Structure 1
Amino acid sequence: MATEKLVVIKETDLSNNCPECFNQNLKLTFYQKHVYAKLFHRTTSQVTNQIVCSKCGSDIYPAKWTDDIERIFTYYQKMATPEKSSLKFTSLFYILIFVIIILIGTGVYLFSEGLLTI
């Protein structure tokens, strides 16, 4: 099965006050979703974010954001540029395609020579 992984694309410390403990140690992180499977590796365009207080460890959800946090968030959101969406095939995929082509070619050859009947 495919495994999903969130890869960090931008991480920064904020000097805004935490709405929970009023400390100034916030960390803003932007993640991009990557999907890994046996036959392919896909980079999606889905970007998520998370703001965490370093002192109390609580997640700061958008409902608790102050105007200052919101302004800083939009600024850093513009700076976080994700990778382009892409699909890359693994070497196992190419080996399977090569083996299938060889098997089909062998079957067509044997059928044309009369060694294989249906």
Structure 2
Amino acid sequence: MKKKIHTLHTARLKNNCPTCFGTDGLEINFTQAEKETMFSTKPATDIEHTLYCHTCKNQIFPVNWTEDIERVFDYNKKIAETNKHYLKVKPLFYIVFIVAIVLVATTTYLLLPA
């Protein structure tokens, strides 16, 4: 099972970094994973987020966020558009499904008394 990660939204923030107090280095990323199997592809339901400061080269965890950062985070989370929760089946699924139907039909035709 493969896992792909798609970036949904990236934004540079003008807020102060809680670690180095710089105002031009914060960047927030919203990502979503996608699971791929032999038969289907399906995006994950949860959205991951990371806040990174390019000035001090540190990831800022939610424990250290200020109220301003949380406010901007909520705004950007609304902007981040998630991939629809779909189930995309691959051609192999259709082939296996049709073969199974043909097998069931032939066995019932051969086993039924005339």
TM over 0.5: yes
Q: How many residues align?
A: 113
Q: What is the SS of the residue equivalent to 2:47?
A: strand
Q: Output the TM-score relative to the length of structure 2.
A: 0.84
Partner of 2:29: 29
> What's the CA shift string for 1:42-63, capped at 9, x where partnerless?
1232112110112332111111
Q: Output the TM-score relative to the length of structure 1.
A: 0.81
Distance in 2, Cα, partners of 1:19 & 1:5: 31
> What's the CA shift string for 1:27-73, capped at 9, x where partnerless?
10111232111111112321121101123321111111112211111
Distance in 2, Cα, partners of 1:46 & 1:15: 26
Distance in 2, Cα, partners of 1:73 & 1:89: 34
Partner of 2:41: 41
Structure 1 alignment gaps of length 5 or more: none
Partner of 1:17: 16
Q: What is the SS of the residue equivalent to 1:35?
A: strand
Partner of 2:72: 72
Q: Which runs of 4+ in 1 moved over 6 A?
A: none
RMSD: 2.0
Give yes or no for contact 1:45–1:84 (8 Å, CA) kept in 2: no
